[in-house]
Amino acid sequence: MYEPHPIMRNSSFYKNYWEAYSPKLKRDVCYLGQANYELWLLIEINHEIISFCERPLVISGVLNKKKIEVIPNFWLKYKNGQESIVIIEASKSEKQKREITFLAKWCKENNRQLEVKDYSYLLKNQLLINNAKRIIPYLSSSNPIDLDIHKVSKCLSFEKRTIKTVLNELNDSITEQRIIVALYSLIFNNKIASNLNSKPININTEVWLHCPEEESQNHTITNY
């Protein structure tokens, strides 16, 4: 629906440039600034968000008789059909306040939700951000083998098991790297449940199968 607005190389933030591969979009993404990068990680790993676009459009207009132009940080689309525009509140300046006020008005007129995220939001989600940093590179560099996905899924049950237990059970038939890729793919695609939103991901991370009704209640990541 949207295409990323290009980053100007003369931007004062260009030295803090991030580039990565998005498993959700199946394309490369790029960002300026740590906050954009960390917010992308939370978006990427959120099961409720099915699509997104960074710097989706330039929104121009007039606010209080003055021209204004804003490039939102993200456009999001959720499973329930909701579309949101996201802006990072980087400061409490008058300029930032005007941008948020203008975007709120635009979103209301265009049937979008406005989500304002500040640094405190990123700070309280550092655990999930760090887990996403570990999972996403595996999905970017390796495609899980269907047979591995099948074997790993059969090894799991509704009872919680650690990744270490799964590795020990399957290491005679699958390499550790392939088991990890399969597990991370299953977690990322919400095919299995895990405790990665409450514990650092490692060999002691717990994984288990969950029922469809549980998926929307207890085990999906909903703290975006």
Find the mean pLDDT for residues 59-85: 96
User: Rounded to two decimals, what is the model's pTM?
Assistant: 0.89
What's the rounded Cα separation, in Å, for the pair 137 and 182?
Answer: 13
Amino acid at 68: I
Q: Indicate the domain borders of the chain.
A: 17-123, 140-215
What pLDDT is recorded for position 213? 58
Higher pLDDT pick, 98 / 7: 98
- Among 2.40.50.220, 3.30.710.10, 1.10.10.10, 3.40.50.1580, what is the CATH number of 140-215? 1.10.10.10
Give the CATH number of domain 17-123: 3.40.1350.10
Tens digits of residue pLDDT in 18-50: 899 999 999 999 998 899 999 999 999 999 999
What pLDDT is recorded for position 32? 87
Structure token pair of residue 221 = 């990541």
Query: Residue 218: pLDDT band by 50, 70, 90 thresholds?
Result: very low
Q: Do domains 17-123 and 140-215 have the same CATH topology?
A: no
- Rounded to 5 degrees, what are φ and ψ at 156? -95, 165
